[in-house]
Amino acid sequence: MLRKKKSAAAKNSSGFSLLSTMYTLLFLAIVGLVGWITYEDYQNPISEQKIEAQSEITPVTIVPTDEKTEDGATSTQSETALELSTEPEDKKPESEEVSSTESEIQTEAQEELNQSVIDQSTSTETTEISALEPETTAKELQESKTNIATEPKADGLKKEVGTPAEPEVKNETNSVTPSSPSPAPEPSVSDTNVAENVNTDQDPPISIENTTEEKIALAPVPDPEISKNSDFGLLPIIGPGGKMPWRTYGRPFDDPLSRPRIAIVISEMGMSSSATKTAIQKLPGAVTLSFNPYARGLQDWIEQARAAGHEVLLQLPMEPFGYPNNDPGPHSLLTSLTDRENLNRLDWMLGRFTGYSGVTNQMGSRFTSSLQDMEPIMKVLKERGLLFLDGRTSSKSIAAKVASQLQMPFAVNNRFLDHKADRDTIDKRLSELERIAKFTGTAVGVGYPYPVTMERISVWAQTLNRKGLVLAPVSAVVNRQEIR
């Protein structure tokens, strides 16, 4: 009996202990749930405010604006409008802590955006605006009206030498072969008339950086062994032992790698003081400079050019199609004159200065097409030990053929670089010269002292080494071109 009572008491005690444990766990669960809900209620308002504050920031807007410089050039600058707009405050923060958190987020976002604007404006590159000389601006060039006519565009890459065939007057197209460009006059350059066809709206005035290159010493002038006094001044002659003026006065050239050669000639030197000075000082020394016989102070310009390493040529004004409306000057070689009269004019031009390695025709589309008139001139040039560069102002030019028959040094122009003086045209012509040089081993280009022409040549010349090409003076490319 006593044993039964003890067993019942043990069961009652065990049941009470289990029930107490269950109630305790339930209580703790309720307390934990209430605490979690309270914590979530406390956290949710702040999270919503952060999202709301971040969504109120508008993106950065970049507005390009065009601005005219003093030189008439157009430059584009990036103006960044930073707008941080906030929505109307329909709902105010419930606590000061929420308000301060939103303010801090907006401040940090604004600082990040401002920094990005600064970085963007810092990275924007602007083109340095400067002309050949401080007093020569693009606006002044554009205002000076000229009668310059441009060279027609050459279509495609021609394998034959003489592709530039370009007479001076466009209404004489019947004198040019169908495969050649139509004729056009060659421009002249003066102090007040540099280039009417420079597109200043498209290409702002150019700053030409001086290229660093090794200075090459040229022979002093005049050399008494290859010079002779005359009524017109010192004239070149072949010296003792067959000493040739074209070799003596030429720029030394040596390329152990035997790379394809490209010669660049800048014509009309001496007519514009600022253009001539820029060409002498800024262009690579391997660029050949061709001087107009009507320019002033020629011997001084020659000494400066040769001191800078430039080989020089003398331009011979010759009769173009359209003469006398298209007149190359009072001492021009004309088909209407006798051989004696033309040779007398030739001596006058040859005596204008000394130190040139050869000559090239200025205009001359009609004269260079006449075998009867060209042959006596070429014979005298050979006897004087000079080279001849055929400018190919006419597709019918026989100058190179006569020179080849006389076995005298000659070269032929493949491309006029700047019949339209803009970057795209000049870069395209320079690329064509590269293709011709790689195909035939030699190419020759002729340009004028426009600011954009000299700037593009300076930049282009620095790329030739990695392209496997070399810039050479005209005397280094003679007798290397095929005539067809």
pLDDT for 110? 59
In a domain, 2, yes or no: no
Instruction: Tell me the DSSP string of 354-369.
Output: S--SEEEEEE-TTGGG
In a domain, 447, yes or no: yes
Query: Considering only 37-41, 158-162, 188-192, 310-314, which range has the smallest mean pLDDT?
Result: 158-162
Beta strand pairing call for 233-236 and 442-447: unpaired
pLDDT for 158? 39
CA distance 166 to 391: 9
Find the largest Cα–Cα distance for the chain: 166
Q: What is the CATH number of the domain that holds 430?
A: 3.20.20.370
Question: Is the pLDDT score of 95 beyond 60?
Answer: no
Look at residues 120, 153, 187 and tell me which one is the last residue of a structural domain: 120
In a domain, 26, yes or no: no
pLDDT digits (tens, 9 = 90+) for 436-460: 999 999 999 999 999 999 999 999 9
Look at residues 94, 120, 146 and tell me which one is the last residue of a structural domain: 120
Q: Do 155 and 263 fall within a single domain? A: yes
Q: Do 163 and 197 fall within a single domain? A: yes
Q: Do 197 and 65 fall within a single domain? A: no
Look at residues 57, 85, 120 and tell me which one is the last residue of a structural domain: 120
Instruction: Answer whether 387's CB lies under 8 Å from 474's CB.
Output: yes
Q: Do 308 and 442 fall within a single domain? A: yes
How is residue 384 written in tokens?
A: 């004087």
In a domain, 6, yes or no: no
Which of residues 392 and 79 earns the better pLDDT score? 392
In a domain, 133, yes or no: no
Q: Do 108 and 149 fall within a single domain? A: no
CB contact set of 392 (below 8 Å; sequence gap of 6+): 162, 163, 164, 165, 166, 412, 413
In a domain, 483, yes or no: no
Q: Give the phi and the psi of residue 268 in degrees, each rounded to 5.
A: 60, 30
pLDDT for 208? 60
pLDDT digits (tens, 9 = 90+) for 259-279: 999 999 999 999 999 999 999
Q: Do 378 and 238 fall within a single domain? A: yes
In a domain, 251, yes or no: yes
CB contact set of 131 (below 8 Å; sequence gap of 6+): 71, 137, 138, 140, 141, 205, 206, 451
The pTM of the full predicted model, rounded to 2 decimals, is: 0.61
Q: Residue 74 is part of which domain span? A: 32-120
Instruction: Answer whether 458's CB lies under 8 Å from 208's CB.
Output: yes
Question: Is the pLDDT score of 115 beyond 60?
Answer: no
Q: What angle do CA 444, 446, 450 make, to 5 degrees?
A: 145
Q: Do 413 and 277 fall within a single domain? A: yes
Instruction: Answer whether 270's CB lies under 8 Å from 296's CB.
Output: yes
pLDDT digits (tens, 9 = 90+) for 29-82: 898 888 878 777 666 654 444 444 444 444 444 444 444 443 444 443 433 333
Instruction: Answer whether 423's CB lies under 8 Å from 453's CB.
Output: no
Question: Is the pLDDT score of 165 beyond 60?
Answer: no
Mean pLDDT confidence for 163-184: 39
How many Cβ atoms sit within 10 Å of the Cβ of residue 133?
Answer: 13
Q: Do 358 and 225 fall within a single domain? A: yes
Question: Is the pLDDT score of 282 beyond 50?
Answer: yes
In a domain, 205, yes or no: yes
Q: Amino acid identity of 366?
A: R
Q: Do 277 and 425 fall within a single domain? A: yes
Q: How many domains does the chain have?
A: 2
pLDDT for 42? 64
Q: Do 106 and 177 fall within a single domain? A: no
Coil, helix or strand at residue 84: coil
CA distance 318 to 332: 5
C-alpha 401, offset from chain centre: 34
Q: Do 112 and 185 fall within a single domain? A: no
Q: Do 228 and 194 fall within a single domain? A: yes
